């Protein structure tokens, strides 16, 4: 049965290449804003356009492109983590705290 | 300065070990479906991993994730393309979804694809769009159960191409 053509975006090429996908466009933008910043429709359209170009041009699987656009803020000033850490991070923080207490 | 190679650790250096420990699939096994016609004639849909669901629909199961932090809900939600910016929840617990809540196109480009349809860049946007919640440590149910359900619905709507947008 015929499949459906896909194109993915990813800001973690190391992970996506291990998964191995038909087509992926890589972008060095933060989690939660991989297409661009709030209100930047022109910039957002560039990323969607990059995905569309790849969808049309790729000739076979594992076709990856690195989009050239740079995020305007340095990584340590770029917010992407939620204000309340995810449950698994809260769990890890608690375990590290307990390990530190046990080591004393 | 133009980026020539995207750095996987640029925003999240802490995931270095996790990436290194991942088992790599064999690229020779990567599935392939060519685009069957020009994009301007294709029906397109979107899949997000941002944990988006229509207001009034069932939430992703965060009670269980809070009780079992290494578990993540592997199910999906269908979102009508007519749902507007504020008709859905952006609920993923592992990222700051406040940017999406202000402008969904930062990671859920529905307005851009509506424009693409009007402009003729795509044939049409399908009636149904999709979201999963991307924190799924055990992804077997996603592959075995959720993905086939999404594909079945996409085929019933004659979708030709999917834009996958992880967050």
Dig out the tokens for A98 from the structure. 């307990």
For B29, the 3-state DSSP assignment is helix
Query: Contact B162/A22, CB-based, under 8 Å?
Result: no
pLDDT tens per residue, range B128-157: 999 999 999 999 999 999 999 999 999 999
Q: How far is A97 from chain B (nearest CA, A)?
A: 17
Termini Cα distance of chain B: 24
CA distance B108 to B81: 11
pTM comes to 0.96
Q: How far is A43 from chain B (nearest CA, A)?
A: 10
Query: Contact B102/A52, CB-based, under 8 Å?
Result: no
pLDDT tens per residue, range A56-102: 999 999 999 999 999 999 999 999 999 999 999 999 999 999 999 99
Query: Contact B7/A28, CB-based, under 8 Å?
Result: yes
Query: Contact B97/A82, CB-based, under 8 Å?
Result: yes
Confidence of residue B113 (pLDDT cuts 50, 70, 90): very high
Q: Does B14 touch chain A (CB under 8 A)?
A: no
For residue A1, the model assigns a pLDDT of 55
CB-CB contact of B95 with A32 (8 Å): yes
For residue A2, the model assigns a pLDDT of 77
**Phi, psi angle pair for B80, to nearest 5°:** -65, 140
Query: With a CB-CB cutoff of 8 Å, which residues 120-149 of chain B face chain A?
Result: 121-122, 135
Q: Does B29 touch chain A (CB under 8 A)?
A: yes
Chain A residue with the nearest C-alpha to that of B122 = A52
CA distance A40 to B107: 12
Q: What share of chain A has pLDDT > 70, as a percent?
A: 99
3-state secondary structure chain A: CCCCEEEEEECCHHHHHHHCCCEEEEEECCCCCCCCCCCCHHHHHHHHHHHHHHHHHCCCCCEEEEEEEECCCCHHHCCCCCCCCCHHHHHHHHHHHHHHHHHC
E strands present in B8-127: 43-48, 52-54, 76-80, 88-90, 124-125
For residue B76, the model assigns a pLDDT of 98
Query: Contact B165/A7, CB-based, under 8 Å?
Result: no
For residue B1, the model assigns a pLDDT of 76
Q: Does B158 touch chain A (CB under 8 A)?
A: no
CA angle B56, B58, B59 (to 5 degrees): 105
pLDDT tens per residue, range B33-82: 999 999 999 999 999 999 999 999 999 999 999 999 999 999 999 999 99
CB-CB contact of A27 with B107 (8 Å): no
Q: How far is A98 from chain B (nearest CA, A)?
A: 17
CA distance A33 to B95: 10
Chain B residue with the nearest C-alpha to that of A7 = B163
pLDDT tens per residue, range A19-53: 999 999 999 999 999 999 999 999 999 999 999 99
Query: What are the residues whose beta carbons fall under 8 Å from the beta carbon of B68, sequence distance 6 or more?
Result: none
Give the domain ranges of chain A.
Answer: 8-73
Confidence of residue B30 (pLDDT cuts 50, 70, 90): very high
CB-CB contact of B101 with B92 (8 Å): no
Query: What are the residues whose beta carbons fall under 8 Å from the beta carbon of A10, sequence distance 6 or more?
Result: A16, A24, A25, A26, A27, A34, B166
């Amino acid at each position: 049965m015929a499949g459906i053509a896909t194109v993915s975006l990813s800001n973690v090429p190391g992970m996506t290449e291990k998964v191995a996908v038909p087509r992926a466009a890589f972008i060095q933008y933060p989690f939660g804003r991989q297409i661009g910043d709030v209100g930047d429709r022109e910039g957002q359209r560039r990323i969607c356009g990059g995905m569309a170009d790849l969808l049309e041009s790729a000739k076979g699987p594992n076709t990856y492109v690195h989009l050239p656009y740079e995020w305007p803020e340095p990584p340590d000033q770029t917010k992407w983590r939620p204000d309340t850490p995810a449950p698994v991070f809260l769990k890890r923080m608690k375990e590290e705290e307990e390990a530190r207490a046990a080591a004393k | 300065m133009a980026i020539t190679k995207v750095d996987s650790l640029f925003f999240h250096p802490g995931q270095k070990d996790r990436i290194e420990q991942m088992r790599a699939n064999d690229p020779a096994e990567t599935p392939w479906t060519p685009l069957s016609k020009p994009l301007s004639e294709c029906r397109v849909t979107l899949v997000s991993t941002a944990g988006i669901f229509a207001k009034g629909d069932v939430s992703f199961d965060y009670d269980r994730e809070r009780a079992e932090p290494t578990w993540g809900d592997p199910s999906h939600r269908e979102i009508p393309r007519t749902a507007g910016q504020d008709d859905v929840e952006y609920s993923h617990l592992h990222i700051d979804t406040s940017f999406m809540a202000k402008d969904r196109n930062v990671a859920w480009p529905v307005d851009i694809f509506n424009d693409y349809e009007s402009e003729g860049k795509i044939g049409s946007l399908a009636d149904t769009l999709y979201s999963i919640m991307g924190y799924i440590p055990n992804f077997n149910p996603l592959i075995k159960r959720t993905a086939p359900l999404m594909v079945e619905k996409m085929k019933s709507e004659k979708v030709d191409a999917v834009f996958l947008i992880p967050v």
